Amino acid sequence: MELAALTGTPFFSVPQHVGGPIVEPELRGGFFRLMDGMLARNQFTNSGPLAVRLEEEMAARFRIAEAVAIANGTLAQLLLLKAIGLVSGEALVSANTFVATAHACEWAGLRPVFCDIDPETLDLSPADCERKMSPGVRAIIPTHVFGVMADMPALGNLARRHGVALLADAAHAFDCDLGGVPPGGFGIPEFLSFHATKFFSTFEGGMVLTGDSSLARELRELRNFGFDRPNDAGKLGLNAKLPEASAAFGLASLPFLEGRVRRLREVRETYIRELADVPGLRIHHLDRFGRNNYRYFALFVEESAFGLSRDELILALRLENILVRDYFHPGCHRQGHYRNNAPRPALVETERALSRILALPTSFVEVEPIVAARAVAGLVREAQARAEEVRRVLRRRTE
């Protein structure tokens, strides 16, 4: 197998993204039928019947009393924080998450305090949360990274002992669980993202899962400008309603989710078989932590054994039109907005993981997934086998 770094010819003719939207061909018919109904009703938003139906479907799927549809995941978190009164003080959050988790805290009035991660799960470390606990902390907000749910029992105990709120970013965790308990099942509110790149998408969208009907009612008022009665905005809300077209895409996707998990699991198993014996690679295993949707496949690159650094491997694969990602490098605490307040001392496990992590595509465009996964793995193997030559070429390209 020839490498584009050496030949100039990429293996894939079209870019293969880590998080490209998943759209089964058969999904389109159901989506267009729902859209026809929406157009016939002439209601495109404002808690239409499709958005209400999606909430009902999600409440049943997650075995939770209330599922509140929101325009996107960031607004779902922001409105949740506002609804439960978390508008001042500090929140303990992971730096190993998308920056929206920290941003929503600041928009609500909470200052993010970045904590380290567990090196196995890559989730928020309860031990470091304990170390960072202070009188100013009002909340703990873990992220279920790559669908591996955080240690909710330990974090719950910590939150109760210190009298702080616990909620969770479940953006990656659709159809995942911890010991059989899905997001929302630990007695705390959790928020989801239905962004285009997620396992389950509504083009753009989000949701809050809660067992508290009064909290759900508050969220529904806040997402609709704060109207708590006709023509009377009794509170400061905003426009965060999920459009009917977005709900239609989500509803049309539901019959295909089991097959989606099966295909993603097969891709994962292919990667594991093909890459298991490559020196310098360590696969991030998911199954031992609970059920997973397999949307993400991550591994860690040890330069001394692999022969290339993680960043050099990224460059080599991108030349093949394989747009791998270094999730969530460099970490929220290293983003420009937060850099001046980066934790001291450094987040050791977070820094170690983020300097080595690499996510490979799990859904592919215009190519059969298993064939594509074998090809990606083969190119990784070839890059390792010809590491010195590849490194020389890459350095010449960047000089």
CATH classification of the domain holding 53: 3.40.640.10
Residues 113 and 215 in one domain: yes
Count up the domains in the chain and report the number: 2
- ∠65-194-23 over CA atoms, to 5°? 120
Q: What pLDDT score was predicted for residue 341?
A: 76
The answer to whether 191 and 180 have CB atoms below 8 angstroms apart is no
Q: What is the pLDDT of residues 293-320, one digit of tens each?
A: 999 999 999 999 999 999 999 999 999 9
Q: Could you tell me which of 193, 211, 166 has the C-alpha nearest to residue 63?
A: 211
Of 255, 278, 313, the residue at which a domain comes to its end is: 255
Of 221, 240, 255, the residue at which a domain comes to its end is: 255
Instruction: List beta partners, residue 112.
Output: 91
Q: What is the pLDDT of residues 320-365, one digit of tens each?
A: 999 999 999 999 999 999 988 777 778 999 999 999 999 999 999 8
Phi-psi group of 278: left, alpha or beta (phi > 0 → left; psi -120 to 50 → alpha; rest → beta)? beta
The answer to whether 293 and 264 have CB atoms below 8 angstroms apart is yes
CA distance between the termini of the chain: 26
Q: What pLDDT score was predicted for residue 137?
A: 98
Look up the domain containing 308 and give its range: 4-20+256-398
Of 224, 255, 286, the residue at which a domain comes to its end is: 255
Residues 242 and 288 in one domain: no
Residues 293 and 206 in one domain: no
Residues 87 and 218 in one domain: yes
Alpha-carbon dihedral 276, 17, 247, 259, rounded to 10 degrees: -40
Residues 100 and 158 in one domain: yes
Q: What is the pLDDT of residues 96-142, one digit of tens each?
A: 999 999 999 999 999 999 999 999 999 999 999 999 999 999 999 99
Residues 110 and 241 in one domain: yes
**Can you give the pTM of this predicted structure?**
0.96
